[in-house]
Structure 1
Amino acid sequence: MKLIIVILFSLLTATAFSQNKKSKIAPPPSAFEVKLNEALKLASSEQYEEAGQAFDELILKEPANGDGYYYYGETVIKEFLSDTLSNSLEEMAAKAEGLFQKGIQQDPTNVLNEIGLGSISLLRTCDTIAADKHFAKAEASLPLKAKLLSTRDARILTKLGTVQLLGSVVRYNKALNYLNRAKEIDPNNALIYLAIGNVYMQKNDGKNALANYNRALSLDPKSPIPKIKIGNIYVRATNLNAARPYFDEARDIDSTYAPVYRELGELYTMAGQFQLAKTNFRKFLDLSGDNIPAKIQYAKALFRSKDFGTALETIEEILAVDKSRNYLYRLAAYSCYDKRPPELEKGRLYMEKFFENANSASIIPRDYLYYSRILFKVAKNDSLTLSNAFDAFEKAYAMDTNNVSLVSEIAFNYYYSRIYKKAITWLNFKNRKGKSDKDDLMLIGKSYYQLGEFTNADSIFSKIIIDQPDNMQAYLYLARTASSMDPTSELGLAYPKFESLVEKIGSDTVKYAKELQESYTYLGYYNIQKEDYKAAKLWYKNLYNLDPSNKQWQIQSLKSQALIAYKEKNYMEARDLYSEIKKLDPADLEAAKAIQDLTKAINALQKLNKK
């Protein structure tokens, strides 16, 4: 999302007004223009609350000027994009839309607000048809003759180009068409080249992006923005050493420009130099005024850099003196969950406080997602909390039905919570969306197995083996399923399944030792049941030799072999086998007693034989 912010709103970093291309000397700015540029400078420094106050004052003084409404609405969109963690799309879009509509009412001939309404259509639902109706009204205001075009017309075209990058369907060609027309009208306007560079940047065309940013820099060498843009090209390429000089140069151009310190903070975070990152984030805070709005920006920057502990401390400092910003409870809850170790109970309380005061428009999918994850982890054996966790998971998905990874998360959590029917439902739902992974079918089969629906389980595992012939877990569960369908082993349903698993594993005994242990155990047991003691001994000897370091398996093997010897009335062999067990585990009381009993039996038989 940060890239989108950089791309869309570089134009807010400079003054809203530039001189007419025919004028050799720019006229002095009006009082309105001065105040507007002051508000835009605050927005450029991401001081959104102060910018909002400045716009409110501006509109109050000059309610008939549509520019005030447009740039205020554009700033609201920028604020939303700058932090989708804390801002609701619907809430912010509604606010911006209201400003654009008011601007049209107050100043019907000012087409900037039509562009604003079009941008809302793109941002909300990517409705290009509705958006283009507004854009057409803006275009219709432009003179047909090139000689009549002014720098204000260039600004209209620039805005038309910039907003084409909003929404999920990005229209690069349309954006470039508008921006190139703007460049023809006002070829020495650095802001236009920045906007063109942004389009290429989003297209992953670093070469053309760099060329346009360099052109902007040559036209406006006193602006730090082109340097930051160029630095971001290298950050995106993860060439942090190449990026840093550009951010340093941007800072040298204007050491009071707060966002450059945030960029440096994020760069150092990526480089793992967390102390330098924190120092620059702190400088960002100081230059932003070190007031509550600035501290909020600082906390958000810390959160983005994954310094969740310090982010939480900063938020709690703010909440101690000002509880009016409900979204801070959300960010506090997120930080509680993400910090290590997490503070889940505190996060739960913060999230519930947020929901208590939030209206439906301000709630975003991530709110329910974090809440569900917190509840899921604290639930333990509390069935009500677990139920509430899954309610929240499903609400999160209902708000963002394109989130396939969330479908997987919900399904897995149902499975590991042993709510197998729900796990099957969600995994099948994921499959119907055409987004299934190869392991999903295995979980469905395991769920049927745990539910005792062995016919369904058998069908699933058989299908997996056909599709994934090297999936040993599928062979194992197919054998387990057959064993469950034939619990007394009278039908021998599982015998060929376990034999097939052993054959499939072959010599790869280390990797699949556990699967072989289970197979050897079953196959040995089955042959004991069938009184084929010779075959049973072979399987148990395989178990003994499977892993020389696993005494438990060796003892299991020896006990089973001793049982066979006992059934064969070979008491001396049975006693010798129990003696081997005692060597492995001197504390084995069962083996000690068996040795005593067998010794008595052997002695008794020897006495009988002497008679």
Structure 2
Amino acid sequence: MNKFKIFSFALVASVSVAKAQDINQAKKAIDAEQFQKAKSLLKSIIKAKPSDGEANFVLGNIYLNQSVIDSAKIYYLNGIEAADKKNLNYIGLGQIDLNNKNTAAAQANFALATKDIRRKDVNEFIYIGRAYINSDNPDYKNAIASLQKALAIEPQNATALLTIGDAYYGANNQNDAYKAYRDAFTADPTLLRAKMQLGVLLKGAKSYEEAIKSFNEVITLDVNYGPVYRELAETYYKWARNKPSTSTVNLQKAITNYEKYLSLTDYSLDSKMRHADFLILVKDYKNLEVVANKMIAEDKVNPRIFRYLGYAAYENGNYDVAIKSLEDYIKVPTNKIIARDYLYLGYAKIKKGTNAEGAVDAAAFDSGLAEIKKGVNLDPTAVEELGDFGKELFGKKQFVQAADLFELTATNTESKSYLTDNVYYGIALYYANVNKTATAPEVIAALGKADAAFDRVLVASPTYEEAYLYKGRINNLLEKDDLIIKNYEEYVTKITAKGAEELAKPATVKKVVEAYNSIGASYANTDKAKAIEYFNKSLVLDPANAYAAQSVKALK
């Protein structure tokens, strides 16, 4: 799950008590991730006082966090016209620049924000640090530099300490992040997010039980602090993923805690979307389809709902709905398309073209594969998600299609499934061509790719002896006697090294006999004595082997 973008707002004393109370209520609602409530409070403040620059800035930040860029920009521009704290709004515009990778424009806006501040002002530096952290293109180095300016002025500012902790965490500096969060909570024991982030660090280190203990300490302090239940949900989810034996129990705990989190937010469309994201994580697609259809009934405008519906409909076997929903989402140029959108669309097209016997229509497969390739081009790491679908095709003996899919993954050395994918790719290519004319150029090319796949397997895992077996089979099809002998002999050497127990297994005996017979056949035209030697080795293991017996008889 992507890191949740957080707002941290320092309290500002130079305003009226009533106005400060309203602003602070909004900030507390934001920290509790009750964004709809915060919006209502801020809009009330702006309605009463349109010239309130801080309220415009804080409201703009909510919209920016929710990727509603146009609304965010409107409030920032309104805030710049304000009489009070208008400079803060340049920071919001600066984050939009950072999102657009326009660093120079962002720095110019940040300079405007700090141009006329007083010597003891720290909030601008904190907000700038947060902008660098929350950007679509985070810059933790500059975030830390800005936050250090704030801490140089006010070393015990709890919000600055919390925020620099987030910057260190984003930069994978766990030690400094821990110290910053600890110091933030010491400086302000009511700052529960700082305490919660100590548990987040443990979650990131896969110390799930310790993380849960830490989160429960936060609940002891405030049973109604919503975000901690979200963190608990994500921790139970990750624990379930990393330790499958806990999966059933921990996934249920994940769902229970997420529902508790939702009950403490405002049930806005935004919180429902976060719920949908979580349902995708825990693979509760039946519930996701229900939630997505309810959201569409409430809001026909927000296009992201169609992504959720597309995913859920695919997983629930409703391929027409999946295709239409995802195509409706992808075709809108302003939508943020991710690789998984194309993957699901491709899967749905392929599944729609698959008959009851598991055979895939060629045109449907090609159409689906084209979508999948778009996803991989958008994000090369998406290949890690293709393996299960490829294995499904392989299991149905759709070897040509499985090979086409695994071809996308087989050369990505960074993929966690690199070794497994190459094994499947090589075997799929072998079986896709085993009954074809071996002299056909396309077959020679395909078998060459299969041989190369097993070479990659052997580089990644030199002890995987089956690779030599398949290389022998491939070269058998290509009638390359020298390579047949070389690879099958290597297979026998590797399998023999495993000991008598392995050699006694019926499946292993069958493969070794295959190796001896293939080597014997390769020697038959050049060295009859050698050929007879290997056929006799086969007969020692399998006295009833007709091929070996007939070959010995013919050679004599």
Question: TM-score, normalised on structure 1?
Answer: 0.68
CA gap 1:517/1:133 in 2 versus in 1, 3 angstroms:
farther
SS of 2:17 mapped into structure 1: coil
Contact 1:408 1:430 in 2 (8 A): no
Alignment partner, residue 311 of structure 2: 334
1:44 is aligned, of 31, 36, 42, to 31
Contact 1:231 1:246 in 2 (8 A): yes
1:385 matched to 2:364: yes
State how far apart, in whole Å, the 2-side matches of 1:499 and 1:187 are. Answer: 74
Contact 1:217 1:226 in 2 (8 A): yes
State how far apart, in whole Å, the 2-side matches of 1:186 and 1:139 are. Answer: 16
1:497 matched to 2:483: yes
Alignment partner, residue 276 of structure 1: 253
Deviation at 1:115, TM superposition (A): 1.4
CA gap 1:172/1:196 in 2 versus in 1, 3 angstroms:
same
State how far apart, in whole Å, the 1-side matches of 2:537 and 2:49 are. Answer: 91
1:200-228 CA-to-partner distances (Å, cap 9, x unmatched) read: 22333333333332332233223322221
State how far apart, in whole Å, the 1-side matches of 2:77 and 2:232 are. Answer: 38
Q: Which amino acid in structure 1 is aligned with residue 346 of structure 2?
A: S
1:282-319 CA-to-partner distances (Å, cap 9, x unmatched) read: 22222224576655444444444454444444445555
1:285 is aligned, of 259, 262, 269, to 262
Q: Which amino acid in structure 2 is aligned with residue 228 of structure 1?
A: M
Alignment partner, residue 77 of structure 1: 64
State how far apart, in whole Å, the 1-side matches of 2:325 and 2:31 are. Answer: 32
Alignment partner, residue 243 of structure 1: 211
Alignment partner, residue 225 of structure 1: 193
State how far apart, in whole Å, the 1-side matches of 2:403 and 2:2 are. Answer: 40
1:337-359 CA-to-partner distances (Å, cap 9, x unmatched) read: 5xxxx42x326514522532662
1:479-537 CA-to-partner distances (Å, cap 9, x unmatched) read: 55665555xxxxxxx333322223323442558766644443444556777895x7655
Alignment partner, residue 543 of structure 1: 538
Q: Which amino acid in structure 2 is aligned with residue 355 of structure 1?
A: E
Pairs within 5 Å for 1:594-609: none
Alignment partner, residue 221 of structure 2: 253
SS of 1:362 mapped into structure 2: coil
CA gap 1:540/1:34 in 2 versus in 1, 3 angstroms:
same
Contact 1:42 1:51 in 2 (8 A): yes
Q: Which amino acid in structure 1 is aligned with residue 112 of structure 2?
A: K
Deviation at 1:159, TM superposition (A): 0.8
State how far apart, in whole Å, the 1-side matches of 2:383 and 2:407 are. Answer: 15
1:405 matched to 2:421: no
Deviation at 1:155, TM superposition (A): 0.7
CA gap 1:43/1:351 in 2 versus in 1, 3 angstroms:
farther
Alignment partner, residue 436 of structure 2: none
1:520 is aligned, of 498, 516, 540, to 516
Contact 2:307 2:329 in 1 (8 A): no
Alignment partner, residue 3 of structure 2: 3
1:111 matched to 2:87: yes
Contact 1:326 1:354 in 2 (8 A): no
Contact 1:135 1:160 in 2 (8 A): yes
Contact 1:73 1:100 in 2 (8 A): yes
State how far apart, in whole Å, the 2-side matches of 1:406 and 1:352 are. Answer: 25
CA gap 1:517/1:300 in 2 versus in 1, 3 angstroms:
same
Alignment partner, residue 360 of structure 1: 333
1:137 matched to 2:112: yes
CA gap 1:19/1:372 in 2 versus in 1, 3 angstroms:
same
CA RMSD between the two structures: 4.6
Deviation at 1:156, TM superposition (A): 0.6
Alignment partner, residue 346 of structure 2: 372
1:395 is aligned, of 367, 374, 378, to 374
Q: Which runs of 5+ in 1 are unaligned?
A: 21-25, 81-91, 487-493, 549-553, 569-611
Q: Which runs of 5+ in 2 are unaligned?
A: 240-245, 355-359, 434-439, 497-501
Kindly name which structure, 1 or 2, has the bigger radius of gyration based on alpha carbons: 1
CA gap 1:185/1:474 in 2 versus in 1, 3 angstroms:
closer
CA gap 1:280/1:535 in 2 versus in 1, 3 angstroms:
closer
CA gap 1:348/1:221 in 2 versus in 1, 3 angstroms:
farther
1:418 matched to 2:400: yes
- Relative contact order: is structure 1 or structure 2 higher (C-alpha 8 Å, sep ≥ 6)? 1
Contact 1:43 1:51 in 2 (8 A): yes
Question: TM-score, normalised on structure 2?
Answer: 0.74
1:89-148 CA-to-partner distances (Å, cap 9, x unmatched) read: xxx4454344434433566972222211221222333x43332222222232234xx3xx
Alignment partner, residue 196 of structure 1: 164
State how far apart, in whole Å, the 2-side matches of 1:436 and 1:303 are. Answer: 21
Contact 2:406 2:424 in 1 (8 A): no
State how far apart, in whole Å, the 2-side matches of 1:124 and 1:166 are. Answer: 13
Alignment partner, residue 561 of structure 1: 549
Deviation at 1:390, TM superposition (A): 1.6
